[in-house]
Amino acid sequence: MLNLSKNGCSVRVAFSSEGLLTPTAVALGKFDGVHLGHQRVIQPVLHGGNLSVASSPQSKENQLTNQEYTYSTVVTFDPHPQEFFTGQPRTLLTPLDEKVQQLRSLGVEQLVLLPFDKELSALTPEEFVEKILVQQLRCQQISIGQDFCFGEKRSGTAQDLQLLAAKYNIPVTIVPLQTYTGDSSIQTSCVSTTPTQDARISTSLIRQTLEQGDIENANLLLGRPYTLLGDVVQGQQLGRTIGFPTANLQLPKEKFLPRQGVYAVRVFTLEETSDTAPSENLGVMNIGNRPTVNGTYSSAEVHLFNWSGDLYGKKLVVQLVKFLRPEQKFPSLEALKTQIQLDCVVAREVLSA
C-alpha cells in the first residue's frame, strides 16, 4: 500500500486486494497518459460528477439513508498488458508517480493496480466481474470507454460488461470515444484515416505526436502540458563552463521521451515538506545524447533563466511547451554556446506569448 499526499489531498494506491477502500465506484481501463478521453471516463465516478453520494467518510455515522459511501477508484493494470504479452518493456506517458499526481488533481481517491499476470489474463469475462469487481472491489458503479475489452483473449466488450454487471445490479456507464478536431495536421500525419475524419484521442496518437516533436497538439490531446518528473542529479557540469549551467534530470526508466532536441519549458520545483504552491521558472531543455561533447547516453538537461542556487536533490516538474529544434552536433563549444543563446531568445518569446 502506498499513500502519496500533498496539501491535505491524497490518492490511496493499492497493489493488491488487501487494504482496499470499499465499496467503490470504479473507472476501469489502462489510463496511460490520463488524457482528455481518460478524464471523461473517470468523471462519472468522481464525487460531484454523475455519482450520487450520500455522505462523506467523516460523516458515515450520520447517514440518513441506506446508501453507502463509495470511494472514487481508478482500476488499471501493472504491468501494462502489452508488456505482459510481448515480454518487452513498454515506456509510459505517465509512470506511477505522475499518474498519481494527475489522478489526485482530478479528485480520485484510490488507484488500484491489478497485477496483470497469467492468472488474471486467463479469467473469463464472467470470472473477472465476479472475482475482481464484485468480490474484491465491491463495485457499486462502473465507468468504461466504448472500446474497453476485458477477460481472456479480450473476449469481453463494453456491452458484455454492462450485461454481466447488471446481474449484480451494478450500473455501467459506457463513455463514447473522444475525438480531436482542432488541427487537421494531426489527422493526416499521425492517424491512418482519411483527412476528413476526426482523430480519436488515444495514448498511441499522443505518443506519435510526441515522437514528431508536435508538443502543442500533444498537449491539446492531453488537456495539459506533457511533463517530465524527476530528481536533479550530478551531471558532467559542462554547461556551466560555457555559461549555461543545467540541471540533469533523472527520469524513471519507463518514461516515454519525445523527439530528441531542444524545447521551451516551464519548470516547477516540488518541495515535499512545503504547503506553498510550487514556484514557476522558465527555461530550455535538451533531450538527447549531446553529440557536440561526444555524449554516449541519452539525458534530459534543463537550463533555467534567472536562476541562482543549488538544485541538486530537488524534484522538478518540467512542462514541455514547444519544440525548438532537433539536436545537432556543433564544430566547437563556442558554436554550441552561440546556438544556446539563440535558443534562449526564442524560448523567452514563446513562453511570454
Is the distance from CB of 101 to CB of 54 less than 8 angstroms?
A: no
Check whether residue 296 and residue 198 sit in a common domain. no
End of a domain among 142, 157, 175? 175
End of a domain among 175, 195, 211? 175
Query: Which of 7 and 294 is assigned the larger pLDDT?
Result: 294
Q: Domain span at residue 26?
A: 2-175
Check whether residue 18 and residue 44 sit in a common domain. yes
Is 53 a residue whose pLDDT tops 70? no
Check whether residue 47 and residue 115 sit in a common domain. yes
Please give the pLDDT value at position 284: 97
Check whether residue 127 and residue 231 sit in a common domain. no
Q: For the segment 207-224, what is each residue's pLDDT rounded down to a tens digit?
A: 999 999 999 999 999 999
- Give 335-352 as a DSSP string: HHHHHHHHHHHHHHHHHH
Cell numbers for 93, please give them: 506517458
Check whether residue 133 and residue 203 sit in a common domain. no
Cell numbers for 175, please give them: 463513455
Check whether residue 7 and residue 79 sit in a common domain. yes
CATH number of the domain at 91, please. 3.40.50.620
Check whether residue 267 and residue 202 sit in a common domain. no
Cell numbers for 182, please give them: 482542432
Check whether residue 197 and residue 237 sit in a common domain. no
End of a domain among 153, 187, 222? 222
Q: How confident is the model at residue 182 (pLDDT cuts 50, 70, 90)?
A: low
Q: For the segment 250-309, what is each residue's pLDDT rounded down to a tens digit?
A: 999 999 999 999 999 999 987 654 555 667 899 999 999 865 555 556 789 999 998 777
Check whether residue 210 and residue 252 sit in a common domain. no
Cis peptide before 79 (omega within 30 of 0): yes
Check whether residue 264 and residue 127 sit in a common domain. no
Domain count, the chain: 3
Check whether residue 263 and residue 286 sit in a common domain. yes
CATH number of the domain at 290, please. 2.40.30.30
For the whole model, what pTM was predicted?
Answer: 0.84
Check whether residue 281 and residue 153 sit in a common domain. no
